[in-house]
Amino acid sequence: MFEATNKIRVRYAETDQMDVVYHGNYAAYFEASRAEAIRDLGLTYKDMEAMGTYMPIIELHCKYLRPAHYDDLLSIKTILKEMPTDHRIQFHHEVYNEAGKLLTIGHVVLYFIDAATKQKTTMPAFLLEKLAPFFETARD
C-alpha cells in the first residue's frame, strides 16, 4: 500500500451559501492531493504528461459524511491499495479536518493513456519502479 497526506486550506471561493465546501470542489482537492502523492515518489504528474502518459479520470465517487468549512486546514489522504496490472489505477481519498474527524471519503479511477496514440496503455515503467517498494513485502 502506498499512502500520502496533503494539506489544503479551504478558500472562500470553495464555500457555498450552505456555509460549507461545495461538494463538487472535492474533485480538485483529490486531484491536488494525488499530484502531491506522486511528487512524494520523486516525480510529478506534469512530468508524466511531458513523457507521454495522460491520466484522465474515468470515475469519481464521493461520500460526504460531515461538511468542511471556510479556512479549515484539511488533511487529504491519497491511498493506492493495489498495484495496477492493466490500464486502470484506483486511488482512494480521505478528507480529515484539524480535529481529526473524517469528513469525506472517495475514490477515483483513472486510465493510463498514451499521448501519441490516444490509446489505453499500462503504467509507465518509471512510475512502477517508484511504487514497487511499497508493495513488495505484503499485498494489502
Interacting residues with a copy of itself (CB under 8 A): 9, 11-20, 22-28, 31-32, 35-36, 44-46, 54, 56-64, 67, 70-71
Of 7, 21, 30, 27, which is closest to residue 93 (Cα–Cα)?
Answer: 30
Active site residues: 16
**Backbone Cα Rg of the chain:** 16
Question: For the stretch 7-31, what's the b/e string if a residue is b when 16 or more beta carbons lie within 10 angstroms of its beta carbon?
Answer: ebebeeebbeeeebbeeebbeebbb
13 vs 138 by CB, closer to a copy of itself: 13
Q: How far is the CB of 137 from a copy of itself (least distance, A)?
A: 32
63 vs 120 by CB, closer to a copy of itself: 63
11 vs 101 by CB, closer to a copy of itself: 11
Q: Which three cell numbers stand for residue 87?
A: 490500464
Of 25, 51, 24, 26, which is closest to residue 38 (Cα–Cα)?
Answer: 51
Distance of CA 14 to the CA centre of its chain: 18
Q: How far is the CB of 97 from a copy of itself (least distance, A)?
A: 13
Q: How far is the CB of 52 from a copy of itself (least distance, A)?
A: 14
